[in-house]
Copies of this chain bind each other. A is one copy, B any other.
Amino acid sequence: MTAVIGTDPTHATTGTPREGAFGNASHLVCRACGAQSPLGPFYACMECFGPLEVGYDFPTITRAQIEAGPKSIWRYQPLLPVPADIASFRSTDPGFTRLVDAGNLAAELGLRKFHVKDDSGNPTHSFKDRVVAVALSAARELGLQVLACPSTGNLANAVAAAAARAGIRSVVLVPSNLEQQKILASAVYDTTLIAIEGNYDDVNKLASEIAGEEEGWAFVNVNVRPYYAEGSKTLAFEIAEQLGWRLPDQIVVPVASGSQLTKIDKGITELIKLGLVEEKPVRIFGAQATGCSPVSQAYRDGYDVVRPVKPDTIAKSLAIGNPADGPYVLDVARRTGGRIVDVDDETVVANIRRLARTEGIFGETAGGVTLGCVAKLIADGDLDPDAETVMINSGDGLKTLDAVAGQVGPKTTIRPSYEQFADFWKGLEA
């Protein structure tokens, strides 16, 4: 099995993958014009250059079959573009993270039933482990030899860790002015980390160029993006299974490229189609930081397309000014009765602290964005407080400690003396 990506990134040539390399996936389909392509390292439609996504020919799939699987996203193998023997390959085995019944938050927010899907429990502590694991499988089945990405954080961690575990090469491109701690957290996996003198847009552009020029590379979010994106469906699958094979009424999802939101919607549709859950309407809401809110702005203005913005927010993991899935996010929100909103950075920090204080979950800035938007949607009357609601916490506060610096700290500093302690404590009690 060999595969070579040619110089035209949209029409790469490839060897023939083995039978069943992509499980029940049967083809790629253009999200713009509906034209079909064969499964391969393709990401743009040959007819209209629209984005491709994975199509399936599903057999009967049962709850029992899924429940008998491993405690990771691979239990959903029949619903993903991965082979039946996926669990036998070395991967970080992400997923099956906690769905926290957030009763304290529900009480504070005035919601009847509220859950936090806490993806900080993944191997590198963000939802990116899910998408990278599926991209890694596609790269392997297509015979690609290098796993790569442009990134400023979570994706770099996930790619570097997954490639290390799989024993393949990885290349991570980051802006050279990235914070030292973020560089360390990826470089430790011995990835080929390349610092680029430029901003994230420059890095991204270079990545696309490399994907077009070099043979055998899998840029997870570029030329194997259709497979990569399918990984986000597992958030919907897990939420449904963890609720007892039942859908919630409302889901609030952070929006960067928008892919997580659209694939959660796709996952819900597939669960219903396969009879794994009872059909019911699920309203899907999107959350952005005001400093990078192109989709929220487009929603508010009633547009179908998204006008790019220059990001300026502490929520770096959501700071994509020109989101690839923007129009599709607008469509999902409008179709399901959801909405896209944004909150400012001060609100983001307040809600990182709220999530930690009420539920003991330390989310990254994206978690603060999402919880802030939940509160805003309640205040605006958009979220039904009597309906069962789920929010996604997509990453870990340990990666964005700067956001709370100067905001939290010791309540007092004392000498190591019981008397000093007792004075302080009496003051607190009074």
Residues of A in contact with B (beta carbons under 8 Å apart): 71, 90, 92-93, 96, 98, 100, 103-104, 118, 121, 123-125, 160-167, 174, 176, 180-181, 183-185, 187-190, 192-198, 202-203, 205-206, 209-210, 213-214, 352-353, 356-362, 396-399, 401, 404-405, 408-418, 421-422, 424-425, 428
Contact = CB atoms under 8 A, between A and B. Distances in A.
A408 B428 CA distance: 45
A71 B99 CA distance: 11
Contact of A417 (B71, B195, B206): B206
Contact of A197 (B71, B164, B180, B415): B415
A188 B416 contact: no
A191 to B, nearest CB: 9
A422 B352 CA distance: 42
Contact of A123 (B185, B193, B206, B361): B361
A213 B413 CA distance: 20
Given A104-B167, A184-B408, A409-B187, A194 B362 contact: no
Contact of A412 (B195, B202, B203, B413): B195
* Copies of this chain: 2
Contacts of A418: 206, 209-210, 213
A98 B90 contact: no
A92 B362 CA distance: 12
Contact of A188 (B160, B203, B352): B352
A113 to B, nearest CB: 15
A195 B410 contact: yes
Contact of A194 (B118, B196, B424): B424
Given A161-B362, A194-B411, A405-B184, A357 B189 contact: yes
Nearest to A213: B418
Contacts of A416: 196-198, 202-203, 205-206
A213 B411 CA distance: 21
A410 B187 contact: yes
A376 to B, nearest CB: 21
Nearest to A208: B418
Given A123-B98, A398-B399, A194 B414 contact: yes
Nearest to A101: B90
Contacts of A160: 360
A202 B188 CA distance: 35
A118 to B, nearest CB: 8
A123 B360 contact: yes
B414 A188 contact: no
Given A358-B164, A362-B161, A194 B397 contact: no
Nearest to A425: B214
A190 B355 CA distance: 10
Nearest to A167: B104
Nearest to A202: B416
21 contacts: A92-B360, A123-B361, A125-B396, A161-B360, A164-B356, A164-B359, A164-B360, A166-B360, A176-B410, A180-B405, A185-B362, A187-B408, A188-B408, A194-B410, A194-B411, A196-B415, A198-B415, A202-B416, A206-B417, A210-B418, A396-B398
Contacts of A194: 410-414, 421, 424
Contacts of A187: 404, 408-410
Contacts of A124: 360, 362
Contacts of A398: 125, 185, 396, 398-399
Shortest 9 CB-CB distances between A and B: which pairs? A165-B360, A161-B360, A187-B408, A202-B416, A195-B410, A190-B357, A164-B360, A195-B413, A198-B416
